[in-house]
Structure formats: structure tokens, C-alpha cells
Amino acid sequence: MEETAGWPEPVVRVQSLSESGAATIPDRYVKPVDDRPSPSDCCSSSDAASSTDGGTVIPVVDLSSADAARAVSEACREWGFFQAVNHGVPLELLRRARAAWRGFFRLPLELKQRHENSPATYEGYGSRLGVEPGAVLDWGDYYFLHLRPPSALSPDDKWPLVPPDLREATEEYGREVAALCERLLAAMSCGLGVGEKRLQEEFGGAEGAGVCVRVNYYPRCPQPELTLGLSSHSDPGGMTVLLADERVRGLQVRARGGGGGWMTVDPVADAFIVNVGDQIQVLTNATYRSVEHRVTANAGAERLSIAAFYNPRSDLPLAPMPELVSPPGRPPLYRPMTFDEYRLYIRRKGPRGKSQVESLKADDGDR
């Protein structure tokens, strides 16, 4: 019998499919027609710019400016996505973290396989989200680790030993990104007209908040027009700080105002791409909203991104903050749920647009 480590079927590494040199992708990765990228979006590497809606771009916020807090809250209110420049995280650390993880993904498959993950915690080397047998899969492998709170830190056996610098660089990266998220959360709080510490309190304080990383590795794909590197989803947690690949594009954000369009993000050098997650949407009673995003695959180049998730303490029931609720005009839009319960959904079903936060809508049928 094949080893599945708790997955419903044997796990196939996308990297091994890519390196097999096959000219076509297995049926399991072929998306329904409506979910496929538009041809102009999936076949560019660093050179050809493209965006389905004619070039709209997400805001760039200079975190060193006097006006930064207002700009952050405005970007969260209007877009749910922005690029942060002059963020204060040492650029040398960004380079170290990227280099370490590139080194890891370049190791022979057998070495990476030692850290194979399972759907129980997702920590380790993975190639799918969701456990439904027969699901259509995404063209990407990843590595997932918990960094905070200290009680949740991934155990030693979940950490790669090679490259030797990987663990220290990742832990240091996690500390820096956590400090950045604390600042961003204060700015978001101010913009709500509540005290600057309120969102952080709802997260269980700086000590209670969770930090985890998902390093995404998208190998070259022979048929990028048929699949996605990562299907449309909103991030389930509090907020996400993404270090995108400096050379290869791929992240697309759902265009504002519906219409189903996707805009390709053009990463600013050394910037972080920050986005609002579902828990901030719930806490702010949808003043700030999470936004659907996805990743296209690429025929010409592999792509690496490091997503750090800053999450509320996982055992607190989260609901819209009382200051932002005043029935009947402004009823609470969501019913309370802990983040532990909430994240089981994406772990069971995989990425599914914004269906989960929608399913948390308080029943207003009898109002």
C-alpha cells in the first residue's frame, strides 16, 4: 500500500511532475473553464506586463511617511490589499530568507520528503490543501510552519536541517514580520475610530497572536493556461504579509466592483504585499474586507513566495467589535467563531474563494 500520511490519496509533488519534462499536465490539475486564467495572464514571466482590467494597481504605502497610518487604513478600507515600502524589515533578512528557502526547494525530493506534512497540522512539506478525494489540485508545493505564540512553535522535527541557516533566518523573519504586523494593526485600529490597541486586544494581545509561514514553490508548468498555482481564496487569518518573487509575477487580485476580473500584481522591489484576512473582516464588521486572490502558473520560470500570516489567538471566539455594531442600522454581520474552528474549513475543503466568510454571516432572516 502506498504511504499517504493521512491524505486521501498518494501525494504527488508538483516539482516531480514539472521535472519529468512531460508536455501536458495530469487531468487532476486541469481547472474548470471558468476558473482558468486568461491567456494573456499566464504566460508572462518578468517581462511582459499584463492585467485583465487595463492596468489598475493596488496602492503603494510608504510606512516611513508621517501619513502612514491613515494611508494603511484607507488602503484596507478601499482595497483590502496594498504594497508596503520602507517597512523597516532589514532587506538583508529578506534576501536570507529567500535564499534559504530556494535552497530547500532545490534539494533532492527524498530529502524534502522527510518532512512530508499531514492534514492534521499541515506543518512541513505539502502539495495540497484540503482532503477531499478527487479534488482538482493546484500547481504548487509548499512548506508550512508555526512560529508564534511560543507554545505553538513547530517542533524540531518539522524543521528542515538544510540549508543550515534556514531555521534561524525564518525565526528572525517571523519576529520582524510580527513587529510589522503589530504596527499595521495599530494603524488599522486608528482608522476605525477605536483606540489604537483595540484590534490587538481582540487578537489576544501581541503575546497571544499567532504567526505562521507558508513558503510557496510554483514549479514551471507546461500548460499554465489550464491550471492555477493556487486557486482563488481569501486568507482565513488576520492579515497576510507576502514576500513575492522578485523576478516572476503570478499573484492576481480580484478587481474591485466585481465583474470577475483579475489584476496581476506587479511587485515593487523589496516591498511586502499586505492583505486583510477574514478574521479582520469579521472583527471590523466588514469595514475592512478580505479580498479574493489566486496565483497563475508559469511555463518559463519557477516562482517562490513567502507568505506570513498574522492571526488572532486561536481559541478566542471572534465576532464584530461592539464599537462597530449598533442595531438596527449596523447589526453584527457575523456570528462568533474561534480561529481554530474557522481554519478547519480551508484545511478540509481547500481554497474556495470567499465562501467561508460568507457562510459565517449572521442569519438576518428574522430581523
| Least distance CB 145 / ligand OGA (angstroms) | 13
Given Ni ion, ligand OGA, none, residue 187, with its beta carbon under 5 to 8 Å by kind, binds none
Report the b/e string of 163-174 with b at 16+ CB within 10 A.
beebbebbbbbb
Q: What are the CA-CA distances from residue 132 to residues 137, 138, 158, 234 (Å)?
A: 10, 13, 24, 19
Please report where in the chains the cell 484576512 appears, as a residue. 277
Does 292 sit near ligand OGA (CB under 6 A)?
A: no
Q: Indicate which of ligand OGA, Ni ion, none lies near residue 72 (CB less than 5 to 8 Å, by partner kind).
A: none
Question: Which region, judged by CB under 6 A, interacts with ligand OGA, from 44-52, 84-92, 178-186, 244-252?
Answer: 244-252
Q: Is 55 left (phi over 0), alpha (psi -120 to 50) or beta?
A: left
Sorted by sequence, the CB contacts under 8 Å of residue 273 that are 6+ apart come out as 58, 81, 82, 83, 84, 241, 242, 243, 244, 251, 265, 267
Cβ proximity to Ni ion: between 41 and 324 the closer is 41
Least spacing, CB of residue 264 vs ligand OGA, in Å: 11
φ, ψ for residue 281 (rounded to 5)? Answer: -60, -45
Q: How many residues bind Ni ion (CB under 5 A)?
A: 1
212 binds ligand OGA (CB under 6 A): no
Backbone angles phi, psi at 19, to 5 degrees: -80, -15
- Taking the complex as a whole, the smallest distance from the CB of residue 294 to ligand OGA amounts, in Å, to 8
Where in 133-152 is the site for ligand OGA (CB under 6 A)? none
Stretch that binds ligand OGA, among 25-33, 54-62, 242-250, 311-319 (CB under 6 A): 242-250
Task: Give the shortest CB-283-to-Ni ion separation in angstroms.
Answer: 18
Least Å from the CB of residue 57 to Ni ion: 18
Out of 296, 305, 311, 356, the only residue in the binding site for ligand OGA (CB under 6 A) is: 305
Name beta bridge partners: 225.
none
Q: Does residue 235 touch Ni ion according to CB under 5 A?
A: yes
Q: What amino acid is encoded at 159 in this protein?
A: W
**Which residue is associated with the grid cell 510552519?**
145
242 binds, among Ni ion, ligand OGA, none (CB under 5 to 8 A by kind): ligand OGA
Report the residue number, 13 or 233, with the smaller CB distance to Ni ion.
233
Residue 123 sits in the site that holds Ni ion (CB under 5 A) = no
DSSP string, 256-314: TT-TT-EEE--PPTTPEEEEE-HHHHHHTTTSS----EEE---SS--EEEEEEEEE--T
Binding-residue total with ligand OGA (CB under 6 A): 12
Of 221 and 253, the one with the shorter C-beta distance to Ni ion is 253
Among 307, 318, 319, 333, binds ligand OGA (CB under 6 A): 307
Binding site for ligand OGA (CB under 6 A): 214, 216, 230, 235, 242, 244, 250-251, 293, 295, 305, 307
Binding site for Ni ion (CB under 5 A): 235
